[in-house]
Amino acid sequence: MGNKPVLEGMKKALPICLGYFPLGLAFGVIAQNTGLSMVQVGVMSLLVFSGSGQFIAVALLSLGVSFWSIIFTILLVNSRYMLFSASVSRYVKKFPSPLVALITQGITDETFVVSTSYFKEHPVNKKFWLALNITSHLTWISSTMLGVAVGNFIPDMEKLGLNFALPAMFIALFFMTAENKKGLIVGALAGVLSVLFIVVGLKDANVILATVIAATAGVMVKNGF
């Protein structure tokens, strides 16, 4: 019936939420230690909705870095969202701008990969997409706010394996997006380049530089250069 795509979207969001929950909790605890209030954390999670971006923002805030340099750093770190946004442009052609805005606000590494792999096998469906994004987003907002609330009461996160939630999620996303051997090779190249850029000191721009170079190399090889 009409709600089937909604349920399907929520179902696909479940593993994402499983990863966001410990991450969000950890973020809330750290943000609280930095002096952010529950409302500030809630608004940040609503508007920024970016695990890596928010962790970096709070880390830099606690170091006393100026607001504008933090904003510039996050712009670099999250510039990958521009590329994700560009690649979903083909799916939103028939949507009005407000709907495009609502859907794209929910783009994260995780929702992007899950939605685009779904649309490879199913027709594009706005209800599915919104349900997936909003379920993930609400989980993120509530878990980060909960983190502020429980603050110091939380037991040692490392002993629970929670600190590996994020890397595990990216490992899964890597294999979900590596469609073929060429994808794996481009991915491997990006990983090596990323480490290299960090070693030479480009630790804010490493992800975007490595991604752009590896993808360009992939296209060049594909076209026989």
Partner 1 sequence: MASNVMIFIIILGLVNFLLRFLPAQILNKIALPEVVEEWLSFIPVATMSAIVIPVLLKTNNSLISFSWHNLNLLSAVPTVIVAAKTRNLGYTLATGMVTMAVLQNLV
Per CB under 8 A, which of residues 177..206 are in contact with partner 1?
177-179, 183-184, 186-195, 198-199, 206
Q: Quick one: which H or E segment has residue 133?
A: helix 126-150
In angstroms, rounded to a whole number, what is the distance separating the alpha carbons of residues 19 and 148? 18
In angstroms, rounded to a whole number, what is the distance separating the alpha carbons of residues 174 and 110? 10
Please report, as residue ranges, which positions from 40 to 79 form the binding site for partner 1 (by CB under 8 A): 40, 43-44, 46-50, 52-53, 57, 61, 67, 70-71, 74-75, 78-79
In angstroms, rounded to a whole number, what is the distance separating the alpha carbons of residues 125 and 122? 8
Residues 6+ away with beta carbon under 8 Å from 44: 31, 36, 54, 57, 144
Examine residue 90 and tell whether it contacts partner 1 (CB under 8 A).
yes
Among 16, 25, 132, 148, binds partner 1 (CB under 8 A): 16
**DSSP single-letter state for residue 194:** H
Of 85 and 146, the one with the shorter C-beta distance to partner 1 is 85
Which range in 2-10, 122-130, 144-152, 208-216 contacts partner 1 by CB under 8 A? 208-216
Of 125 and 194, the one with the shorter C-beta distance to partner 1 is 194
Among 7, 69, 83, 122, binds partner 1 (CB under 8 A): 83
Nearest to 80 by CA among 180, 188, 184, 170: 170
Which pair of structure tokens corresponds to residue 4? 């089937």
Q: How far is the CB of 153 from partner 1 (least distance, A)?
A: 19
Examine residue 23 and tell whether it contacts partner 1 (CB under 8 A).
no
Examine residue 112 and tell whether it contacts partner 1 (CB under 8 A).
yes
Of 2 and 155, the one with the shorter C-beta distance to partner 1 is 155
Size of the site for partner 1 (CB under 8 A): 100
Distances (CA, A) of 21 to 37, 109, 137, 146: 19, 15, 11, 10
Please report, as residue ranges, which positions from 126 to 145 form the binding site for partner 1 (by CB under 8 A): none
